[in-house]
Amino acid sequence: AAALRLVWKFVGDVTAGIFDSLNVYKVCTILLDKGDRRKLVPLLKNTALFNLGFITIAHLLIRETLIPRFDNFTDIYEIVPITLYNALWIIPVFLLSIFINIMDFASIAEIVHPPRGSSGGLNNLIIEKIGTIGIKLCLNIQMLVLAQIPYIGWPISFVYASWYWAYACFEYRWINDGVSIMNRLGYFESRWPYFLGFGMSIELLYESLPFVVASGITGTYFAALIILAAVAQEREEFSFRYSYFEQAVKVTDYICATYKISVIGVLFKLVTVYDTIRSPQNRSTVFFVVLLISSISAAAFMKYLSLTQ
């Protein structure tokens, strides 16, 4: 009987997580709010325009219409345009999309769930950034290693990636509440079935599509998940805790203890750069830089096509 109750609670928590991650009605309700949340509409439009239009559609058009023109060429002439395309378009746009999305995601989270807690000053902020970056980096390496295990590697990696997505969504909410990093990890590990369900939909979407297309679509979907995470109800603890972050925390603690001074110095500069980029006064400049680099990349690629005809 106890085992059946445990299984029933597990299934219920996972199902609740899946439902919360797909609750489009709740997102629409929030967007129709007459208060400050109406500011979300232009932010979501910008996110969708950049990720779906600028990245996904542009990639599909170029990849499907221009690149195939080289199919009849020899191998060397077929590889060159693809390499130029990746170097001049995919890589710059992908890197710039990271900065654009970071700014928009943080703004979306602050509107839906305004900051209520204190960060404790710049030193604590730096320590939090070190911990967050280190743990996420270790988790990515861990997922890559797990994926190499024969037969069971992909399912295990899928589960870990689903947790990773869920944590990334809820982290904005917890940071705005002033929750310390260790308390965030503890809360997550005590409710792991729910967060597994919450992250499954976006991970399944990411795994089912080509890399560039998946990046564009999941970037838009992730913005919606931040909203859903911010308004999600508190969950009860599961019967037992799963130490998802244990290895990542140990590695991060060791690295920070070994290279504490240099890491803090570098991260201090990164925080300063991040705050500068994220500032509303600089957004037009950032957008202009993105547009300029993309235009130059596209023009260079089109020029190469005209010379090879």
pLDDT digits (tens, 9 = 90+) for 11-21: 999 999 999 99
Can you tell me the distance from the alpha carbon of 235 to that of 17, in angstroms, rounded to the nearest whole number? 10
Given this model, what pLDDT does residue 193 score? 95
Angle at 172 between CA 141 and CA 275, to 5 degrees: 90
Instruction: Identify the CA nearest to 225 among candidates 173, 176, 280, 181.
Output: 173
Comparing 26 with 120, the larger pLDDT belongs to 26
Structure confidence at residue 251 (pLDDT): 78
Distance CA 114, CA 119 (A): 13
As to burial, measured by CB atoms within 10 angstroms (0-12 exposed, 13-18 middle, 19+ buried), residue 181 is buried
Amino acid 297: pLDDT: 54
Residue 277: is its pLDDT beyond 70? no
Q: Check whether 140 has a pLDDT greater than 70.
A: yes
Name the token pair of 176.
């705005």
> Residues of 7-25 as b/e, b for ≥16 C-beta within 10 angstroms?
eeebeebbebbbebbbbee
Virtual CA dihedral for 45, 295, 55, 47, nearest 10 degrees? -20
pLDDT of residue 304: 47
For the chain, counts of helices (H) and of strands (E): 14, 0
Is residue 237 over pLDDT 60? Answer: yes
- For residues 117 and 122, the model is more confident at 117
First to last CA, the chain: 74
> How many Cβ atoms are within 10 Å of 79's Cβ, its own excluded?
12
Given a cut of 80, whether residue 85 has pLDDT beyond it is no
More confident residue, 306 or 172: 172
User: Does residue 205 or residue 121 have the better pLDDT?
Assistant: 205
pTM of whole model > 0.85?
no
Q: What is the pLDDT of residue 77?
A: 45
Three-state DSSP at 237 gives coil
